[in-house]
Amino acid sequence: IYITIAFTFRSYSQPLLLILLIPFSLTAVAWGHWLLDFQVNVLSLLGIIALIGIMVNDGLVLIGKFNSNLKEGMKFDEALSEAGKSRFRAIFLTSLTTIAGLAPLLLEKSRQAQFLKPMAISISFGIAYATILTLLVLPLFLSFSNNIKKNTKWLATGNDVTKEEVERAIKEQNEGNEH
């Protein structure tokens, strides 16, 4: 997953920040299994794989819009805020429809449904928490990472650079303008 995202964004840090959210969402999976009194099994793990796919997709939507905003000339903080605002509905509705689609299975009492419930628990509880992580924590991670890059650049060169100058999307744009 990391290599594919890194290649897409031409950045090593943005995919890493996205992948750092995965362990946090696993806490919601564990909590969901505990709350509904189900053991983690193989189908739970398949649900976790689906959860990771949906979570990465939501993060890609947010980061892609953020990079696009930077390329359009927005300031870093404005680009990050606008990406969150403009992609909130898409991310939230994706999560909501997934959880709503799994709700009948979670509420079903029949013996046949018990087999699939661990997978539905993994996906629905994980997605509910992953949505919050994507919309609130991922932008914080991006901002924190930007500050680290900015300070590292200052320490290495002695030049004070803007938040935008250390972002890969802007570097690519500037390199393209030079050729």
Residue spans per domain, the chain: 2-178
> In the structure, what pLDDT confidence band is assigned to residue 156 with cuts at 50, 70 and 90?
confident
- Whether 168 has a pLDDT exceeding 60, the answer reads yes
Decide yes or no: CATH 2.60.120.620 for domain 2-178. no
Residues 6+ apart with CB under 8 A from 19: 1, 2, 56
pLDDT tens figures, 113-138: 899 999 999 999 999 999 999 999 99
Number of H helices, E strands in the chain: 9, 0
pLDDT tens figures, 105-118: 999 999 888 999 99
φ and ψ at 20, to 5 degrees?
Answer: -65, -20
User: Could you tell me which residue, 84 or 159, shows the higher pLDDT?
Assistant: 84
Nearest to 27 by CA among 142, 125, 168, 131: 125
Supply the pLDDT for residue 90. Answer: 93
- Give just the sign of the alpha carbon dihedral 3, 8, 13, 17: negative
**pTM here?**
0.87
Supply the pLDDT for residue 179. Answer: 47
**Token pair listed for 13:** 């840090």
> In the structure, what pLDDT confidence band is assigned to residue 174 with cuts at 50, 70 and 90?
low
Supply the pLDDT for residue 171. Answer: 59
Supply the pLDDT for residue 161. Answer: 84
Supply the pLDDT for residue 57. Answer: 92
